[in-house]
Chain A
Amino acid sequence: DTGVSQNPRHKITKRGQNVTFRCDPISEHNRLYWYRQTLGQGPEFLTYFQNEAQLEKSRLLSDRFSAERPKGSFSTLEIQRTEQGDSAMYLCASTPGDRVGNIQYFGAGTRLSVL
């Protein structure tokens, strides 16, 4: 297993367009997280899944954002009607969920630029 994989690595889009990002977690990791990170800041929690169930969503996740994790494997994050303020690095992380300390393994992220 090569770790958490995110695609695409970079996405440039025009304001108003929809975009979708994919995250493939480490096999058998049952918990998956999405974060957003802007320049000079730490990752901001967006949402997380326990298997296929979405257990918590941040208030940062407006109605334009939706995340899915069908069958508890890969996950997608969709942003509809993108705005310039959506420009950020979107990070995905997975964890086995069975160890004390909630150690998360991160992907390299998808950098979104909204023009």
Chain B
Amino acid sequence: GAVVSQHPSWVICKSGTSVKIECRSLDFQATTMFWYRQFPKKSLMLMATSNEGSKATYEQGVEKDKFLINHASLTLSTLTVTSAHPEDSSFYICSARWREGRPDTQYFGPGTRLTVL
């Protein structure tokens, strides 16, 4: 159990276009999902916390108008990179919080590699 999927697994797009990445919890409900970004040869950095039915909370330095997050249901959160540029090329990973029992545990998706040409 506790599987998190991401779609697509990789995407290549032209500069100026928008790209949507989906994160789904397949066998549990997640009121909270998280989006991370990994720069080349760096560790993962939290971008934002996505709460079902409310606005996402962004970390300092992350442009909320650039990275649109929507958590429309208890099993789906989406990250849209708007007007993508080459510097947005990165590896994006989501996680979903599973609150069955205590303590909480986050389960991570496989990641999406974005390349902006």
Q: Does B associate with A? A: no
Binding site for B on A (CB under 8 A): none
Binding site for A on B (CB under 8 A): none
